[in-house]
Amino acid sequence: MKAGYKQTEVGVIPDDWDVSTVGAEFEIKLGKMLDSEKNVGVSKPYLGNKSVQWGRIDLSDLPTVPMTRADLEKYRLREGDLLVCEGGDVGRAALWNSPLEECYYQKALHRLRPLRGFDSRLMVELLRHWSDRGLLANYVTQTSIAHLPREKFMGVPVPVPPVPEQRAIATALSDVDALLSALERLLAKKRDLKQAAMQQLLTGQTRLPGFYGEWEVKRLGEMGEIVMGQSPSSSNYNSQGDGLPLIQGNADIANRKTIKRVFTTQITKRGRAGDILMSVRAPVGEVSRATFDLCIGRGVCAIRYPNDFLYHYLIFLEPMWAKHSKGSTFESVNSTDVRGVEIQLSSDLPEQIAIAAVLSDMDAELAALEQRLAKTRTLKQGMMQELLTGRIRLL
């Protein structure tokens, strides 16, 4: 074992860290029992399980419950209260920072208040760390849904760094959380802007500078080649990894991969890199771009068009496909439905290309933000592993 560390029931931690329990460090109280026949008094807003998300409180559509004077004193939330889900996503936690002047909480939540100065922000991070690794499983009671009873929660062992180090760890992780929140807000804003741009540019409501030609309506079958998929015989599957991947449904489109491959010589419905791939089975109309040659299975069709305008337009039309879907066991559309879809487009090919370029640039920006968000989340996971075990010391 590394010098300066010790083995404990919570794992290897620094020598100057203690081990305690959640019940020794926090006062733990369950919220108000909801009973429409017994609850009386003044109606007040309260938080339920779904209101407590990881690191944040969702205040949308808060319900109310009648409360007596005793209830108001017992269940009123204070600034800094730590709320932990007792059921459902057991252990999910967030701090109450008084966004409302008055609010209460129900029995589906544990409310924690420090008894000896333990930093509640750090406790949120520990709960997430434990949840991610399934470390609360031994304390959960499983009936119809999982529950974390108060008595068992009190006995969960917890590492206790010195208070200044608790604050330093919590602050470092909170700073990353703030960055994650900022990236998520920016990504949501960029997605909204992309949706607005599609609405304006793909319908001709807004024209790019220098383009004034007329727009026309064409059926999809008139615009380009459409290849409806057809699943090959299973005898043509190649388990050795040679041949082309078989794309035959939504999951294969979304993930750009498949577990099956088909002998190249046996493929009757072949797709090419650059084809627009569209699901013709539920969820109908989901669009992707082929980045490799492939075998087109019956859950998919391939559409070929000389520029990216149609690709963006079909993404714009995805919500429309619900009215075309049919089928008793699963939703689907046929070749007549696909070919008959009406597309509004500029008769000027350069305008189509210019519109596609604008939307492609927005897609590239979104992809870069998504990648940055994913990397930051991975960074946060690594920091939690190192800081919450004392492998890296901040003081």
Q: Does residue 332 belong to any structural domain of this protein?
A: yes
Q: Does residue 278 belong to any structural domain of this protein?
A: yes
Instruction: Name the least confident of 102-106, 198-202, 240-244.
Output: 240-244
Q: Does residue 202 belong to any structural domain of this protein?
A: no
Same domain, yes or no: 249 and 341: yes
Q: What is the per-residue pLDDT for 255?
A: 64
Hey, what long-range contacts does 364-371 have (CB within 8 A, 24 or more apart)? 365/190, 366/187, 366/190, 366/191, 366/194, 369/183, 369/186, 369/187, 369/190, 370/187
Same domain, yes or no: 226 and 156: no
Last residue in a domain, options 160, 179, 206: 160
Name the residue type at position 23. G
Same domain, yes or no: 152 and 247: no
Q: Does residue 363 belong to any structural domain of this protein?
A: no
Same domain, yes or no: 119 and 28: yes
Q: What does the angle CA 139 – CA 107 – CA 81 come to, to the nearest 5 degrees? A: 85
Residues spanned by the domain of 51: 18-160
Q: What is the per-residue pLDDT for 250?
A: 65
* CATH code of 254's domain: 3.90.220.20
Q: Per residue in 188-241, pLDDT tens?
A: 999 999 999 999 999 999 999 999 999 999 999 999 899 999 877 777 777 666
Yes or no: say if 257 and 294 are a contact pair by the CB < 8 Å rule: no
Same domain, yes or no: 153 and 265: no
Yes or no: say if 310 and 303 are a contact pair by the CB < 8 Å rule: yes
Q: Per residue in 9-67, pLDDT tens?
A: 999 999 999 999 999 999 999 999 988 778 889 999 999 999 999 999 999 989 999 99
Q: Does residue 338 belong to any structural domain of this protein?
A: yes
Q: Does residue 305 belong to any structural domain of this protein?
A: yes
Q: Does residue 390 belong to any structural domain of this protein?
A: no
Same domain, yes or no: 115 and 235: no
Q: What is the per-residue pLDDT for 166?
A: 97
Last residue in a domain, options 304, 331, 347: 347
Total domains in the fold of the chain: 2
Name the residue type at position 141. T
Q: Per residue in 345-371, pLDDT tens?
A: 999 999 999 999 999 999 999 999 999
Same domain, yes or no: 229 and 115: no
Same domain, yes or no: 146 and 222: no
Last residue in a domain, options 305, 328, 347: 347
* Pairwise CA distance, residues 81 & 90, whole Å: 18
With cut-offs at 50, 70 and 90, classify the pLDDT of residue 141: confident
Q: Does residue 308 belong to any structural domain of this protein?
A: yes
* Pairwise CA distance, residues 5 & 2, whole Å: 6
